[in-house]
Amino acid sequence: MANVIKGVFPEPTKPTPSTEDKPIPSYILNISITFSDPLIWRRVQVPGNYSLAQLHDVIQQAMGWSDSHVHQFLVGKISYEPTIKSNKPRESKRFDEDKYQLHTLEEGMQFMFSYIYDAGEGWEHEIHLEEVVSPEKELKYPILLAGKQACPPEEVGDVHEYNQLVTAFETPESSNHHSLAELSGNPDFNPAYFNLDAAKKLVCKV
């Protein structure tokens, strides 16, 4: 069960403005839902000048989420979230995900990189930096390279509940055999099916 990261963290390195004479690499990231079984994963290539906020959009489209819950990133030891304007004092010091580009966080990405969707309950995604791609040819938009397994229905509480439902789905005599289809609203829902071509079209528009 994922928990919201709270507390005061050390100030991260300030983002360095990108310049035309400084080529920026792109990154191949493997994104998987922690503890999913079978593993639910996507591999994407993302421009290095994309912010964490843009990466959030990429993950949502690649996985198949509906962006209807709160989220946060953990890069290195720093928590990044959308900035919410408020006059109320906060217990934690939050860093705005929209202000930090991936290439400024490369060191932290190699140490620890995760994305939590529906924080406090649902879905923790482990992000593994597989490759830093030389900027010989500029990447202008993200590319979905591969993936396996369907995105869980949003109505499922967390990955552990989902794993139980998948087991029931594969056991016709189970009393919960039809639960996944009912929760997804799709009578043909198949936890093993992922439409790579359809997801590619969505990701490249981010």
Q: What mean pLDDT, rounded, does the chain reach? A: 87
- Whether 206 and 143 have beta carbons less than 8 Å apart is answered as no
Q: Over the stretch 62-85, which tens digit does the pLDDT of each residue have?
A: 999 999 999 999 999 899 999 766
Alpha-carbon 56 to chain mean position: 6
Q: What's the rounded Cα separation, in Å, for the pair 62 and 201?
A: 10
Cβ contacts of 180-188, under 8 Å, gap ≥ 24:
180/153, 183/153, 183/155, 183/156, 184/153, 184/155, 185/153
pLDDT of residue 173: 85
CATH H-level, domain 26-203: superfamily: MM3350-like (3.10.290.30)
pLDDT of residue 7: 45
pLDDT of residue 46: 98
Structure tokens at 34: 């922690």
- Would the pLDDT of 11 be above 60? no
Helix (H, G, I), strand (E, B) or coil at 32: strand
Residues 6+ apart with CB under 8 A from 161: none
Helical residues (DSSP H) of 15-129, grouped into ranges: 52-63, 106-111
pLDDT tier, 139 (very low <50, low <70, confident <90, very high otherwise):
very high
Q: What's the rounded Cα separation, in Å, for the pair 75 and 52?
A: 10
Q: State the amino acid at position 146 in one-letter form.
A: A
pLDDT of residue 120: 63
- Would the pLDDT of 86 be above 60? no
Angle 158-162-168 from CA coordinates, rounded to 5°: 155
Helix (H, G, I), strand (E, B) or coil at 59: helix
Between 22 and 52, residue with greater pLDDT = 52
pLDDT tier, 19 (very low <50, low <70, confident <90, very high otherwise):
very low
